[in-house]
Protein backbone atom coordinates (compact mmCIF):
# COMPACT_ATOMS: atom_id res chain seq x y z
CA UNK A 1 0.00 0.00 0.00
CA UNK A 2 1.39 3.39 -0.99
CA UNK A 3 0.59 6.26 1.39
CA UNK A 4 -1.08 9.41 0.12
CA UNK A 5 2.03 11.52 0.64
CA UNK A 6 4.01 9.24 -1.64
CA UNK A 7 1.34 9.18 -4.29
CA UNK A 8 1.19 12.97 -4.38
CA UNK A 9 4.96 13.55 -4.08
CA UNK A 10 4.35 15.79 -1.10
CA UNK A 11 6.43 17.11 1.73
CA UNK A 12 6.93 13.79 3.45
CA UNK A 13 9.33 12.88 0.65
CA UNK A 14 11.57 15.80 1.61
CA UNK A 15 12.95 15.89 -1.93
CA UNK A 16 14.71 19.13 -2.81
CA UNK A 17 15.51 19.97 -6.44
CA UNK A 18 18.80 21.59 -7.38
CA UNK A 19 17.12 25.00 -7.47
CA UNK A 20 15.92 24.77 -3.85
CA UNK A 21 16.47 27.94 -1.85
CA UNK A 22 16.24 29.14 1.72
CA UNK A 23 13.68 31.92 2.03
CA UNK A 24 13.52 33.91 5.25
CA UNK A 25 10.80 36.27 6.44
CA UNK A 26 10.48 38.37 9.59
CA UNK A 27 7.04 39.50 10.71
CA UNK A 28 6.30 41.77 13.67
CA UNK A 29 3.02 40.92 15.39
CA UNK A 30 1.70 44.27 16.63
CA UNK A 31 -1.38 46.06 17.89
CA UNK A 32 -2.14 48.71 15.29
CA UNK A 33 -5.12 50.66 13.92
CA UNK A 34 -6.93 49.04 11.03
CA UNK A 35 -10.05 50.00 9.04
CA UNK A 36 -10.55 47.52 6.16
CA UNK A 37 -14.21 48.54 5.85
CA UNK A 38 -13.82 52.13 7.03
CA UNK A 39 -14.48 51.42 10.71
CA UNK A 40 -11.42 52.19 12.82
CA UNK A 41 -10.37 49.71 15.48
CA UNK A 42 -7.18 48.24 16.93
CA UNK A 43 -6.23 44.87 15.54
CA UNK A 44 -3.60 42.18 15.91
CA UNK A 45 -1.62 42.41 12.71
CA UNK A 46 1.48 41.03 11.04
CA UNK A 47 3.68 44.01 10.13
CA UNK A 48 0.68 46.25 10.78
CA UNK A 49 -1.29 45.13 7.72
CA UNK A 50 -4.42 43.17 6.92
CA UNK A 51 -4.12 40.67 5.40
CA UNK A 52 -0.57 40.17 6.62
CA UNK A 53 2.40 40.21 4.26
CA UNK A 54 2.30 37.73 1.38
CA UNK A 55 4.73 34.82 1.79
CA UNK A 56 5.94 33.09 -1.37
CA UNK A 57 8.28 30.23 -2.19
CA UNK A 58 8.89 27.59 -4.85
CA UNK A 59 8.44 23.89 -4.27
CA UNK A 60 11.62 22.41 -2.83
CA UNK A 61 12.47 25.57 -0.88
CA UNK A 62 12.86 25.75 2.87
CA UNK A 63 11.05 28.71 4.41
CA UNK A 64 11.89 30.26 7.77
CA UNK A 65 9.39 32.71 9.23
CA UNK A 66 10.31 34.61 12.40
CA UNK A 67 7.43 36.15 14.33
CA UNK A 68 8.37 38.89 16.78
CA UNK A 69 5.58 39.19 19.33
CA UNK A 70 5.22 42.91 20.09
CA UNK A 71 1.63 42.77 21.36
CA UNK A 72 0.74 45.10 24.24
CA UNK A 73 -3.06 45.50 24.21
CA UNK A 74 -4.26 43.20 26.97
CA UNK A 75 -7.91 43.66 25.99
CA UNK A 76 -7.02 40.96 23.41
CA UNK A 77 -4.78 37.90 23.59
CA UNK A 78 -1.13 38.91 23.68
CA UNK A 79 0.46 35.48 23.34
CA UNK A 80 0.23 33.78 19.96
CA UNK A 81 0.95 30.63 17.96
CA UNK A 82 0.94 30.41 14.17
CA UNK A 83 -0.51 27.70 11.94
CA UNK A 84 0.51 27.44 8.29
CA UNK A 85 -2.74 26.15 6.82
CA UNK A 86 -2.23 23.79 3.91
CA UNK A 87 1.53 23.46 4.41
CA UNK A 88 2.28 19.76 4.76
CA UNK A 89 4.76 19.09 7.55
CA UNK A 90 7.23 16.26 7.62
CA UNK A 91 7.68 14.32 10.86
CA UNK A 92 11.10 15.74 11.70
CA UNK A 93 9.72 19.28 11.85
CA UNK A 94 6.28 18.54 13.31
CA UNK A 95 7.23 20.49 16.46
CA UNK A 96 7.06 23.62 14.26
CA UNK A 97 3.52 22.84 13.15
CA UNK A 98 2.09 25.67 15.27
CA UNK A 99 -0.92 24.02 16.97
CA UNK A 100 -1.05 25.37 20.53
CA UNK A 101 -1.10 22.64 23.19
CA UNK A 102 -0.83 19.94 20.51
CA UNK A 103 2.58 20.51 18.93
CA UNK A 104 3.84 23.50 20.93
CA UNK A 105 3.05 26.11 23.57
CA UNK A 106 2.27 29.68 22.48
CA UNK A 107 4.91 32.37 22.80
CA UNK A 108 4.29 35.52 24.81
CA UNK A 109 4.88 39.24 24.35
CA UNK A 110 8.44 40.52 23.91
CA UNK A 111 9.55 37.14 22.57
CA UNK A 112 10.14 35.68 19.12
CA UNK A 113 9.79 32.31 17.49
CA UNK A 114 11.03 31.04 14.12
CA UNK A 115 9.08 28.40 12.21
CA UNK A 116 11.09 26.27 9.78
CA UNK A 117 9.09 24.83 6.90
CA UNK A 118 10.86 22.36 4.56
CA UNK A 119 8.47 22.31 1.60
CA UNK A 120 9.69 19.24 -0.26
CA UNK A 121 7.73 18.71 -3.47
CA UNK A 122 4.47 20.30 -2.36
CA UNK A 123 3.06 23.37 -4.07
CA UNK A 124 -0.20 25.28 -4.18
CA UNK A 125 -2.19 27.90 -2.30
CA UNK A 126 -1.89 28.08 1.49
CA UNK A 127 -2.11 30.69 4.26
CA UNK A 128 -1.09 31.44 7.82
CA UNK A 129 -3.02 32.55 10.88
CA UNK A 130 -2.99 32.59 14.64
CA UNK A 131 -4.22 29.26 15.98
CA UNK A 132 -4.65 30.53 19.55
CA UNK A 133 -8.28 30.94 20.66
CA UNK A 134 -10.12 33.28 18.25
CA UNK A 135 -7.14 35.62 17.87
CA UNK A 136 -7.00 35.57 14.09
CA UNK A 137 -10.41 37.27 14.00
CA UNK A 138 -8.49 40.36 15.15
CA UNK A 139 -6.46 40.31 11.94
CA UNK A 140 -3.47 37.95 12.30
CA UNK A 141 -3.89 36.12 8.99
CA UNK A 142 -2.19 36.20 5.61
CA UNK A 143 -1.55 34.27 2.39
CA UNK A 144 1.30 31.85 1.59
CA UNK A 145 1.77 30.69 -2.03
CA UNK A 146 4.10 27.85 -3.06
CA UNK A 147 4.73 28.06 -6.78
CA UNK A 148 5.54 25.12 -9.03
CA UNK A 149 7.74 26.21 -11.96
CA UNK A 150 6.83 22.91 -13.64
CA UNK A 151 3.09 23.14 -12.99
CA UNK A 152 1.48 20.52 -15.30
CA UNK A 153 -1.46 22.92 -15.84
CA UNK A 154 0.68 25.94 -16.69
CA UNK A 155 -0.39 25.84 -20.34
CA UNK A 156 -3.90 26.86 -19.27
CA UNK A 157 -3.02 30.35 -18.00
CA UNK A 158 -0.81 33.33 -18.85
CA UNK A 159 -0.59 35.19 -15.51
CA UNK A 160 -0.09 33.79 -12.00
CA UNK A 161 1.59 36.25 -9.67
CA UNK A 162 1.08 38.45 -6.63
CA UNK A 163 -1.59 40.45 -8.48
CA UNK A 164 -3.87 37.43 -8.99
CA UNK A 165 -4.36 36.38 -5.35
CA UNK A 166 -7.85 36.86 -3.92
CA UNK A 167 -8.33 36.70 -0.16
CA UNK A 168 -11.85 36.29 1.24
CA UNK A 169 -12.48 37.29 4.84
CA UNK A 170 -15.07 38.14 7.46
CA UNK A 171 -14.56 41.11 9.77
CA UNK A 172 -15.85 42.29 13.14
CA UNK A 173 -15.75 45.76 14.68
CA UNK A 174 -15.55 44.26 18.18
CA UNK A 175 -12.48 42.43 19.39
CA UNK A 176 -12.45 38.65 19.49
CA UNK A 177 -12.45 38.69 23.29
CA UNK A 178 -15.65 40.76 23.41
CA UNK A 179 -17.24 38.54 20.75
CA UNK A 180 -16.32 35.40 22.65
CA UNK A 181 -17.94 36.75 25.82
CA UNK A 182 -21.13 37.36 23.83
CA UNK A 183 -20.99 33.88 22.28
CA UNK A 184 -20.43 32.26 25.66
CA UNK A 185 -23.48 34.01 27.12
CA UNK A 186 -25.89 33.52 24.21
CA UNK A 187 -24.64 30.44 22.27
CA UNK A 188 -25.02 32.65 19.18
CA UNK A 189 -22.02 33.56 17.06
CA UNK A 190 -22.00 37.34 16.60
CA UNK A 191 -22.75 38.11 12.97
CA UNK A 192 -19.85 39.76 11.17
CA UNK A 193 -19.97 43.46 10.38
CA UNK A 194 -18.59 43.12 6.86
CA UNK A 195 -17.17 40.75 4.30
CA UNK A 196 -13.80 41.63 2.81
CA UNK A 197 -12.46 40.96 -0.67
CA UNK A 198 -8.69 41.39 -0.81
CA UNK A 199 -8.81 43.19 2.52
CA UNK A 200 -11.54 45.69 1.60
CA UNK A 201 -15.27 45.80 2.29
CA UNK A 202 -18.15 48.03 3.29
CA UNK A 203 -20.83 48.03 5.97
CA UNK A 204 -24.27 49.62 6.05
CA UNK A 205 -23.97 53.28 7.01
CA UNK A 206 -20.20 53.25 6.66
CA UNK A 207 -18.01 55.15 4.21
CA UNK A 208 -18.06 54.04 0.59
CA UNK A 209 -14.38 53.25 0.44
CA UNK A 210 -13.21 51.95 -2.96
CA UNK A 211 -13.67 48.24 -3.59
CA UNK A 212 -10.59 46.19 -4.42
CA UNK A 213 -9.90 46.23 -8.16
CA UNK A 214 -8.51 43.38 -10.26
CA UNK A 215 -7.19 44.73 -13.56
CA UNK A 216 -7.12 42.41 -16.58
CA UNK A 217 -6.19 42.74 -20.24
CA UNK A 218 -8.64 41.50 -22.83
CA UNK A 219 -7.63 38.15 -24.30
CA UNK A 220 -5.39 37.16 -21.37
CA UNK A 221 -5.90 34.07 -19.17
CA UNK A 222 -5.46 34.52 -15.41
CA UNK A 223 -4.93 32.04 -12.61
CA UNK A 224 -6.77 33.52 -9.65
CA UNK A 225 -6.02 31.95 -6.27
CA UNK A 226 -9.02 32.14 -3.93
CA UNK A 227 -8.11 31.74 -0.26
CA UNK A 228 -10.86 31.93 2.35
CA UNK A 229 -9.15 33.31 5.45
CA UNK A 230 -12.47 33.72 7.26
CA UNK A 231 -13.10 32.76 10.86
CA UNK A 232 -16.63 31.59 10.12
CA UNK A 233 -18.03 32.37 6.71
CA UNK A 234 -18.48 30.17 3.69
CA UNK A 235 -18.19 32.50 0.65
CA UNK A 236 -19.84 32.13 -2.76
CA UNK A 237 -17.62 33.53 -5.51
CA UNK A 238 -18.59 34.42 -9.07
CA UNK A 239 -17.70 37.00 -11.69
CA UNK A 240 -20.45 38.65 -13.71
CA UNK A 241 -20.46 37.41 -17.34
CA UNK A 242 -17.44 35.14 -16.80
CA UNK A 243 -16.82 31.47 -16.12
CA UNK A 244 -14.09 29.96 -13.94
CA UNK A 245 -12.13 26.76 -14.59
CA UNK A 246 -11.01 25.08 -11.37
CA UNK A 247 -7.46 23.66 -11.57
CA UNK A 248 -6.45 23.38 -7.90
CA UNK A 249 -8.17 22.70 -4.60
CA UNK A 250 -6.36 22.91 -1.23
CA UNK A 251 -2.95 22.50 -2.85
CA UNK A 252 -3.86 19.55 -5.09
CA UNK A 253 -3.88 20.06 -8.90
CA UNK A 254 -7.21 19.00 -10.39
CA UNK A 255 -8.51 18.07 -13.79
CA UNK A 256 -9.97 21.30 -15.24
CA UNK A 257 -13.63 21.80 -14.32
CA UNK A 258 -15.62 24.79 -15.56
CA UNK A 259 -18.16 26.48 -13.27
CA UNK A 260 -19.62 29.97 -12.87
CA UNK A 261 -20.00 30.00 -9.09
CA UNK A 262 -18.21 28.17 -6.33
CA UNK A 263 -18.46 27.83 -2.57
CA UNK A 264 -15.26 28.39 -0.58
CA UNK A 265 -15.37 27.24 3.04
CA UNK A 266 -13.22 28.79 5.80
CA UNK A 267 -9.67 27.52 5.35
CA UNK A 268 -10.27 26.29 1.79
CA UNK A 269 -8.36 27.36 -1.30
CA UNK A 270 -9.09 27.15 -5.03
CA UNK A 271 -7.22 28.15 -8.16
CA UNK A 272 -9.42 29.09 -11.10
CA UNK A 273 -8.53 30.13 -14.62
CA UNK A 274 -10.52 33.08 -15.95
CA UNK A 275 -10.19 34.33 -19.52
CA UNK A 276 -10.75 38.05 -20.04
CA UNK A 277 -12.97 37.46 -23.07
CA UNK A 278 -15.78 39.94 -22.51
CA UNK A 279 -16.29 43.50 -23.72
CA UNK A 280 -13.87 46.04 -22.24
CA UNK A 281 -15.80 47.19 -19.20
CA UNK A 282 -16.06 46.77 -15.43
CA UNK A 283 -17.67 43.66 -13.89
CA UNK A 284 -18.59 42.75 -10.34
CA UNK A 285 -16.61 40.07 -8.57
CA UNK A 286 -19.20 38.67 -6.18
CA UNK A 287 -17.75 37.33 -2.90
CA UNK A 288 -20.95 36.74 -0.96
CA UNK A 289 -20.72 35.40 2.61
CA UNK A 290 -23.41 32.82 3.31
CA UNK A 291 -25.70 33.73 6.21
CA UNK A 292 -26.98 30.52 7.87
CA UNK A 293 -29.86 32.37 9.49
CA UNK A 294 -28.54 33.93 12.67
CA UNK A 295 -31.61 35.00 14.69
CA UNK A 296 -29.82 38.15 15.91
CA UNK A 297 -29.19 39.92 12.63
CA UNK A 298 -26.52 42.57 12.49
CA UNK A 299 -28.06 45.73 10.99
CA UNK A 300 -24.74 46.94 9.58
CA UNK A 301 -23.95 43.70 7.71
CA UNK A 302 -25.03 43.46 4.09
CA UNK A 303 -23.55 40.48 2.20
CA UNK A 304 -24.00 42.30 -1.12
CA UNK A 305 -21.31 44.77 -0.03
CA UNK A 306 -18.71 41.98 -0.08
CA UNK A 307 -17.25 42.21 -3.57
CA UNK A 308 -14.55 43.50 -5.85
CA UNK A 309 -14.28 44.88 -9.38
CA UNK A 310 -12.89 43.09 -12.44
CA UNK A 311 -11.55 46.04 -14.43
CA UNK A 312 -10.56 45.64 -18.06
CA UNK A 313 -7.64 47.83 -19.10
CA UNK A 314 -9.12 50.64 -21.18
CA UNK A 315 -12.43 50.74 -19.32
CA UNK A 316 -13.36 53.78 -17.20
CA UNK A 317 -11.96 53.82 -13.67
CA UNK A 318 -15.39 53.34 -12.15
CA UNK A 319 -17.60 50.80 -10.48
CA UNK A 320 -19.77 48.60 -12.71
CA UNK A 321 -23.11 50.12 -13.59
CA UNK A 322 -24.88 46.76 -13.30
CA UNK A 323 -26.73 45.74 -10.12
CA UNK A 324 -24.91 44.15 -7.20
CA UNK A 325 -26.17 40.55 -7.19
CA UNK A 326 -25.27 37.35 -5.41
CA UNK A 327 -24.13 35.82 -8.68
CA UNK A 328 -25.82 33.26 -10.95
CA UNK A 329 -29.00 31.81 -9.50
CA UNK A 330 -31.37 28.96 -10.36
CA UNK A 331 -30.98 27.48 -13.83
CA UNK A 332 -28.20 29.99 -14.63
CA UNK A 333 -25.99 28.71 -11.80
CA UNK A 334 -23.32 26.15 -12.54
CA UNK A 335 -22.22 25.70 -8.93
CA UNK A 336 -19.10 23.68 -8.25
CA UNK A 337 -20.03 20.26 -6.88
CA UNK A 338 -17.20 18.93 -4.73
CA UNK A 339 -17.79 15.31 -5.70
CA UNK A 340 -17.10 16.18 -9.37
CA UNK A 341 -13.50 17.25 -8.62
CA UNK A 342 -10.79 14.84 -9.76
CA UNK A 343 -7.07 15.04 -8.90
CA UNK A 344 -4.91 15.74 -11.93
CA UNK A 345 -2.75 12.77 -10.94
CA UNK A 346 -5.03 9.76 -10.28
CA UNK A 347 -4.60 8.59 -6.71
CA UNK A 348 -6.90 5.72 -5.68
CA UNK A 349 -7.42 5.56 -1.91
CA UNK A 350 -6.41 2.36 -0.10
CA UNK A 351 -9.03 0.31 1.68
CA UNK A 352 -9.47 1.42 5.31
CA UNK A 353 -7.79 -0.37 8.20
CA UNK A 354 -9.78 1.62 10.75
CA UNK A 355 -13.28 3.09 10.47
CA UNK A 356 -14.37 5.82 12.90
CA UNK A 357 -17.98 6.95 13.11
CA UNK A 358 -18.17 10.55 14.31
CA UNK A 359 -20.98 12.84 15.39
CA UNK A 360 -21.06 16.49 16.39
CA UNK A 361 -23.57 18.07 18.76
CA UNK A 362 -24.22 21.17 20.84
CA UNK A 363 -26.15 20.67 24.10
CA UNK A 364 -29.12 23.01 24.44
CA UNK A 365 -28.32 26.05 26.56
CA UNK A 366 -24.57 25.44 26.67
CA UNK A 367 -21.77 27.02 24.67
CA UNK A 368 -20.17 23.63 24.13
CA UNK A 369 -19.55 21.61 20.99
CA UNK A 370 -19.12 17.87 21.40
CA UNK A 371 -17.10 15.58 19.17
CA UNK A 372 -18.50 12.07 19.62
CA UNK A 373 -20.03 13.29 22.86
CA UNK A 374 -16.78 14.78 24.19
CA UNK A 375 -15.73 18.44 24.30
CA UNK A 376 -12.12 19.00 23.27
CA UNK A 377 -10.18 20.95 25.88
CA UNK A 378 -6.58 21.99 25.42
CA UNK A 379 -4.29 20.13 27.83
CA UNK A 380 -1.76 21.97 29.96
CA UNK A 381 1.01 19.76 28.59
CA UNK A 382 1.01 19.65 24.76
CA UNK A 383 0.26 16.32 23.10
CA UNK A 384 3.68 16.16 21.46
CA UNK A 385 5.50 16.59 24.78
CA UNK A 386 3.44 13.79 26.32
CA UNK A 387 4.34 11.50 23.41
CA UNK A 388 8.03 12.38 23.59
CA UNK A 389 7.84 11.55 27.31
CA UNK A 390 6.44 8.10 26.56
CA UNK A 391 2.66 8.41 26.03
CA UNK A 392 1.54 5.78 23.51
CA UNK A 393 -2.01 4.73 24.36
CA UNK A 394 -5.41 6.33 24.83
CA UNK A 395 -5.16 5.92 28.62
CA UNK A 396 -2.17 8.28 28.60
CA UNK A 397 -4.40 11.19 27.59
CA UNK A 398 -7.36 12.84 29.27
CA UNK A 399 -10.75 12.04 27.74
CA UNK A 400 -11.20 15.73 26.90
CA UNK A 401 -8.11 15.63 24.68
CA UNK A 402 -10.09 13.55 22.13
CA UNK A 403 -6.90 11.77 21.09
CA UNK A 404 -7.01 8.88 18.59
CA UNK A 405 -3.88 6.75 18.16
CA UNK A 406 -3.00 4.70 15.07
CA UNK A 407 -0.07 2.54 13.89
CA UNK A 408 2.06 3.81 11.05
CA UNK A 409 1.19 3.29 7.38
CA UNK A 410 -2.46 2.48 7.95
CA UNK A 411 -5.56 4.00 6.37
CA UNK A 412 -8.18 5.63 8.58
CA UNK A 413 -11.73 6.27 7.40
CA UNK A 414 -13.76 8.96 9.16
CA UNK A 415 -17.49 8.59 8.68
CA UNK A 416 -19.38 11.72 9.73
CA UNK A 417 -22.94 10.59 10.31
CA UNK A 418 -25.70 12.81 8.90
CA UNK A 419 -27.41 15.16 11.31
CA UNK A 420 -30.08 17.86 11.01
CA UNK A 421 -27.88 20.89 11.74
CA UNK A 422 -28.29 24.01 9.61
CA UNK A 423 -24.61 24.92 9.50
CA UNK A 424 -21.80 23.18 7.68
CA UNK A 425 -18.71 22.33 9.71
CA UNK A 426 -15.56 22.67 7.56
CA UNK A 427 -13.20 20.11 9.10
CA UNK A 428 -9.46 20.36 8.51
CA UNK A 429 -6.62 17.93 9.21
CA UNK A 430 -3.34 19.69 9.96
CA UNK A 431 -0.20 18.63 8.13
CA UNK A 432 -2.00 16.15 5.87
CA UNK A 433 -4.51 15.81 3.07
CA UNK A 434 -7.34 13.33 2.80
CA UNK A 435 -9.54 11.70 0.20
CA UNK A 436 -13.16 12.88 0.19
CA UNK A 437 -14.81 9.51 -0.43
CA UNK A 438 -18.29 10.98 -0.01
CA UNK A 439 -19.07 14.69 -0.12
CA UNK A 440 -21.70 16.18 2.13
CA UNK A 441 -23.68 17.45 -0.90
CA UNK A 442 -23.87 14.13 -2.74
CA UNK A 443 -24.86 10.50 -2.20
CA UNK A 444 -22.10 9.34 -4.55
CA UNK A 445 -19.36 7.24 -2.95
CA UNK A 446 -16.12 7.38 -4.93
CA UNK A 447 -13.34 4.97 -4.00
CA UNK A 448 -11.60 5.16 -7.39
CA UNK A 449 -10.41 8.76 -7.86
CA UNK A 450 -12.10 11.04 -5.29
CA UNK A 451 -11.18 14.66 -4.52
CA UNK A 452 -8.11 15.23 -2.35
CA UNK A 453 -8.39 18.11 0.10
CA UNK A 454 -7.43 19.26 3.57
CA UNK A 455 -10.78 20.97 4.30
CA UNK A 456 -14.13 19.25 3.80
CA UNK A 457 -17.67 20.01 4.91
CA UNK A 458 -19.52 17.92 7.43
CA UNK A 459 -23.27 18.57 7.48
CA UNK A 460 -26.64 16.91 7.21
CA UNK A 461 -25.67 14.89 4.14
CA UNK A 462 -22.96 12.77 5.73
CA UNK A 463 -19.28 12.91 4.79
CA UNK A 464 -16.64 10.17 4.45
CA UNK A 465 -12.92 10.97 4.54
CA UNK A 466 -9.81 8.77 4.39
CA UNK A 467 -6.23 9.57 5.29
CA UNK A 468 -3.05 7.57 5.75
CA UNK A 469 -0.86 7.50 8.84
CA UNK A 470 2.37 7.56 6.84
CA UNK A 471 3.75 10.57 8.75
CA UNK A 472 4.29 10.04 12.48
CA UNK A 473 2.95 13.00 14.43
CA UNK A 474 0.04 14.44 16.40
CA UNK A 475 -2.21 16.15 13.88
CA UNK A 476 -5.02 18.50 14.86
CA UNK A 477 -8.42 17.67 13.32
CA UNK A 478 -11.01 20.35 13.99
CA UNK A 479 -13.83 22.51 12.71
CA UNK A 480 -12.48 25.61 10.97
CA UNK A 481 -15.32 27.74 12.24
CA UNK A 482 -13.15 28.89 15.12
CA UNK A 483 -16.12 29.65 17.36
CA UNK A 484 -16.99 25.94 17.23
CA UNK A 485 -13.34 24.96 17.61
CA UNK A 486 -13.04 27.22 20.67
CA UNK A 487 -16.16 25.54 22.13
CA UNK A 488 -14.66 22.06 21.77
CA UNK A 489 -15.20 20.76 18.22
CA UNK A 490 -11.85 19.11 17.69
CA UNK A 491 -9.68 16.04 18.08
CA UNK A 492 -6.06 14.94 17.63
CA UNK A 493 -5.05 12.15 15.25
CA UNK A 494 -1.78 10.58 16.41
CA UNK A 495 0.23 8.50 13.95
CA UNK A 496 2.86 6.10 15.32
CA UNK A 497 3.93 7.38 18.77
CA UNK A 498 7.15 5.36 18.71
CA UNK A 499 8.04 6.77 15.29
CA UNK A 500 7.51 10.26 16.71
CA UNK A 501 10.00 9.57 19.50
CA UNK A 502 12.54 8.24 17.00
CA UNK A 503 12.28 11.04 14.44
CA UNK A 504 11.30 14.25 16.26
CA UNK A 505 14.22 16.17 17.76
CA UNK A 506 12.93 19.60 18.82
CA UNK A 507 15.16 22.66 19.02
CA UNK A 508 16.22 24.42 22.19
CA UNK A 509 13.96 27.34 21.27
CA UNK A 510 10.99 24.96 21.18
CA UNK A 511 11.99 23.40 24.51
CA UNK A 512 11.80 26.86 26.10
CA UNK A 513 8.28 27.66 24.89
CA UNK A 514 6.22 25.87 27.56
CA UNK A 515 8.24 26.96 30.61
CA UNK A 516 8.12 30.57 29.37
CA UNK A 517 4.40 30.46 28.60
CA UNK A 518 3.49 28.79 31.89
CA UNK A 519 5.42 31.49 33.78
CA UNK A 520 3.35 34.29 32.23
CA UNK A 521 0.60 35.96 34.25
CA UNK A 522 -2.86 34.97 33.01
CA UNK A 523 -3.45 38.36 31.38
CA UNK A 524 -0.45 37.78 29.08
CA UNK A 525 -1.37 34.28 27.99
* Mean pLDDT, rounded, for 278-286: 98
Residue 340: left (phi > 0), alpha (psi -120 to 50), or beta?
alpha
Residue 228's DSSP bridge partners are 168
Is 392 strand, coil or helix? coil
Structure confidence at residue 422 (pLDDT): 65
Contact 131, 105 (CB under 8 A): no
pLDDT at position 18 over 60: no
Structure confidence at residue 17 (pLDDT): 46
In the chain, the N- to C-terminal Cα span, in Å, equals 44
Measured at the CA of 103, the angle between CA 523 and CA 80, to 5 degrees, comes to: 30
Structure confidence at residue 293 (pLDDT): 52
The full set of domains in the chain, from first to last, is 4-148 (2.60.40.420), 164-340 (2.60.40.420), 354-518 (2.60.40.420)
Pick the closest to residue 249 from 150, 132, 126 (CA basis).
126
Structure confidence at residue 20 (pLDDT): 86
pLDDT tens column, 425-481: 999 999 999 999 999 999 999 999 999 999 999 988 999 999 999 999 999 999 999
pLDDT tens column, 34-70: 999 999 999 999 999 999 999 999 999 999 999 999 9
pLDDT at position 407 over 70: yes
How far apart are the C-alpha atoms of 83 and 129, rounded to whole Å?
Answer: 6
- Output 324-328 pairs: Cβ under 8 A, ≥24 positions apart: 324/284, 324/286, 325/240, 325/284, 325/286, 326/236, 326/286, 326/288, 327/236, 327/237, 327/238, 327/240, 327/260, 327/261, 327/286, 327/288, 328/238, 328/260, 328/261
How far apart are the C-alpha atoms of 521 and 183, rounded to whole Å?
Answer: 25
Predicted TM-score (pTM) of the model is 0.95
% of the chain surpassing 70 pLDDT:
95
Structure confidence at residue 291 (pLDDT): 65
pLDDT tens column, 152-182: 999 999 999 999 999 999 999 999 999 999 9
Structure confidence at residue 419 (pLDDT): 74
Amino acid sequence: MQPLASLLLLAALNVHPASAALKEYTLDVVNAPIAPDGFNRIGILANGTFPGPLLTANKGDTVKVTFNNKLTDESMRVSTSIDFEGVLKDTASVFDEGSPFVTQCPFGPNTSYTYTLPLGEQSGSAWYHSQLSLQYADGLRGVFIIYDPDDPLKHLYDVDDESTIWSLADWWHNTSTVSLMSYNLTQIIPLQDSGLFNGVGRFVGGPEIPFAVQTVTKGTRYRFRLINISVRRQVFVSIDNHTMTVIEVDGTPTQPLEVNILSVMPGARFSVVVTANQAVDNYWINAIPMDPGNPNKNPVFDPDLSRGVLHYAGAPDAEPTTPMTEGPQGADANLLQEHELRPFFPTPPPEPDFILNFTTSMPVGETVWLFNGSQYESPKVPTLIKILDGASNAVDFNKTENTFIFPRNKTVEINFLPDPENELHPFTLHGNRFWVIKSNESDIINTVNPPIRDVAAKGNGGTILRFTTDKPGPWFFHCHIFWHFWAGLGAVMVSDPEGIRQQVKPTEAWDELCPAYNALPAVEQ
